[in-house]
């Protein structure tokens, strides 16, 4: 479930889409952290949990920068794309787990959207 935020007047459709992808990825990654900690084992490895938390945080930050019209949003989006790609790779390693694949897909969509937003600057 994606939270819909009111969009500033004059915001491009691409930016609105990127904000939505960031907010969705943030939510999915936080939910996945809880799931992984409950699963234990390789799901709960420190590096994997840190990657999920990094991804959730940079997604929230990127959405915030875009929502307030920061001139630096393209830079946060560039970092967000990189972190999301790493998180997708980390989740995709657990190919036998549907929840992890769902998280990887959300991260890939966000990475693509953020790459596009960073390139528009």
Class of domain 13-119: mainly alpha
Q: For the chain, what are the domain ranges?
A: 13-119
> For residue 13, how many other CB atoms are within 10 A of its CB?
8
pLDDT tens string for the chain (121 positions)? Answer: 444 444 445 568 999 999 999 999 999 999 999 999 999 999 999 999 999 999 999 999 999 999 999 999 999 999 999 999 999 999 999 999 999 999 999 999 999 999 999 998 7
Task: Kindly compute the dihedral angle of the four CA atoms of residues 66, 67, 71, 73, in this order, to the nearest 10 degrees.
Answer: -20
Q: Supply φ then ψ for residue 95, to 5 degrees.
A: -65, -15
Residues 6+ apart with CB under 8 A from 117: 14, 15, 18, 66, 73, 74, 77
* pTM exceeds 0.85: yes
């Amino acid at each position: 479930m994606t939270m819909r935020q009111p969009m500033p007047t004059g915001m491009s459709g691409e930016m609105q889409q990127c904000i939505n992808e960031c907010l969705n990825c943030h939510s999915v990654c936080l939910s996945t952290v809880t799931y992984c900690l409950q699963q234990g084992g390789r799901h709960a490895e420190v590096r994997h949990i840190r990657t999920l938390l990094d991804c959730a945080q940079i997604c929230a930050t990127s959405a915030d920068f875009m929502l307030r019209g920061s001139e630096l949003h393209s830079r946060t989006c560039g970092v967000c794309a990189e972190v999301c790609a790493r998180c997708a790779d980390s989740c995709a390693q657990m190919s036998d787990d549907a929840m992890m694949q769902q998280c990887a897909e959300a991260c890939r969509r966000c990475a693509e959207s953020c790459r596009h937003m960073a390139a528009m600057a």
